[in-house]
Amino acid sequence: MLTLGGKPLLDGADLSVAPGARICLVGRNGSGKSTLLKIAAGEIEADAGQRFLQPGASLRYLPQEPDFSGFATTAAYVEAGLGPLDDPHVARTLLNQLGLSGDEDPSKLSGGEGRRAALARVLAPEPDILLLDEPTNHLDLPTILWLEERLAALRSAMIIISHDRRFLQDLTRETVWIDRGRARHLSRGFAEFEAWRDRELEEEEKQAHKLERKIANEEHWLRHGVSGRRKRNMKRLAGLHGLRAEHRNRVMPTGDVKLEASEAQISGKLVIEAVKIAKSYGDRVIIDGFTTRVLRGDRLGVVGANGAGKTTLVNLLTGQLAPDSGRLKLGAGLEMATLDQSRASLKPETTLQDALTGGGSDMVEINGERRHVVGYMKDFLFKPEQARTPIGKLSGGERGRLMLARALARPSNLLVLDEPTNDLDLETLDLLEEMLADYPGTLIVVSHDRDFLDRVATSVLVSEGAGRWLEYAGGYSDMVAQRGRGVDARANGALAEAPREKPAKERPAERAPAKVKLSFKEQHALTTLPAKMEELRGKRAKLQALLDDAELYAKDPAKFAKASEMFAAVETELAAAEEEWLELEIKREEIEG
């Protein structure tokens, strides 16, 4: 057990690791995943419970934010993680494979370089147990593929926290779900987790409904059925109090983030046209004669190794950077909102409220409507008391949600998202994907998350090296199938031979992506729409009966006009509900049969 701020963060959560186990640790941001991993690593102590490590077993822990203080070079940092019998040459070899020389000053490393140095430190000893907290953060795709192969070849037991679905599907064979302070166990890998989680929550909802009905029945008895047999009645009354206490103490699942992009006016059909644009820095060619057309509604994914020029290309396409040569044309009426992966626009001392409102106000405008900032914060799972919290005190996941809130609050018809999946939990990613599917504008997204690109992108731009970029139709897996390989590794010698990524059809069946299914939002709509349609039909019938009165117009023209207006509105709403229900019912039948 661990309590923070008076409320238990973990309450009886347990975690056990067998030799060779491959476990993914999943749960909402703030559920306690990283805290449980720190307890398992011996970094912090729990308020109650025991931690036991088999004598002689070696353990290494990769934190989200490694501490490099006290080390003069990256080699010294990595070698400090070796055991007495470990080969020090392995440290240098791993650093070189990861694109580092070993002589770098740790205090001057970028986020990606720091992550690679930290990975070398925990991988070099090949420990019995590896605890990895977001190992793919800040890594490019070639390094992620290299890491997958390296981890798959190790004999170490592993517990992995990651937002990267494909990474978890490829590596894990067990799942531990941290939900409302407790650990729920599934003896299968992440590929089957989401369907299992949905069944668990559905069953929990059924049990809660049964409890509410039982309480209602007992309360009815209390009001109308009390007889003279005092002893039996007191026992039943005590039972009712117990049911009420059970209902009152039931911990509800964490709410969903409410994602909705502020929409600007519709842009022209042509959004971006680039003809033979080029950009170089000194002798280094970043883009060489690139041509493309982006039309309204396109979802363009951009992938490549770190240093390939992804950000430069996006800045050229959006007019933030002038090309050295070539022609760029932006469409009419463009309004752009951006999400910066570096989070550089967030100053640590700025409060959450000021970051959302711009300072000096407690209101934010969303889709032309002014909303109180606390209400908007709740849509992104922030608590009212966090309004004055400095951004520097927020967790990585909270900072990620804040950046999304800022980007989506700006009216736009062109969204540019640079690594939007970093630090977001899987449920928030689901909702982000749904929001982007409904977004009427155009999307450009830079991402290393293969599953996210498969779900979102309609085409993918890939660096072919030497300034050449090619566009492939479909998502990331479609690109791999067409290209015959994944993203090429860096050209500086490190990871020179990019690991071959299997196309989706070659993946083992047990690691295949989860079967297409209705989202929670769609399931809910399919359940509730029939009652809504019946209610609307009832309203329509009443309004029709009112309008059928031939004398109504003569007696009360205003009432007739209002009834006519309401009738038209109900007709429109009913038609939309019937169309939505029909589309969902067809989709459900296609999935089931």
- Report the candidate in 85, 163, 166, 91 with the shortest Cα–Cα distance to residue 121: 91
Measured N-to-C along each axis, helices 88-97 and 111-123 cross at an angle, to the nearest 10 degrees, of: 150
| Residues 413, 443 contacting (CB under 8 angstroms) | no
> Within 10 Å of residue 227's Cβ, how many Cβ atoms?
8
Calpha distance 173→188 (Å, rounded): 5
Q: Indicate the Cα dihedral angle 132, 109, 315, 399, nearest 10°.
A: 50
Domains with residue ranges and CATH for the chain: 2-195 (3.40.50.300), 270-335+412-511 (3.40.50.300), 520-592 (1.10.287)
For strands 59-62 and 129-133, give the pairing: parallel
List C-alpha distances in Å: 212 to 147, 200, 240, 559.
49, 19, 11, 42
In this predicted structure, what is the pLDDT of residue 544? Answer: 85
Calpha distance 417→439 (Å, rounded): 13
pLDDT, mean of each 10-residue run, the chain (593 residues): 54 86 89 88 87 92 92 95 90 93 92 93 95 92 93 95 93 92 90 89 76 64 52 54 56 56 68 94 92 92 90 93 93 84 67 83 76 82 84 76 78 88 79 82 92 92 91 91 81 49 48 53 80 87 82 80 85 82 75 67
Calpha distance 212→210 (Å, rounded): 5
In this predicted structure, what is the pLDDT of residue 200? Answer: 85
What is the residue type of 38? K
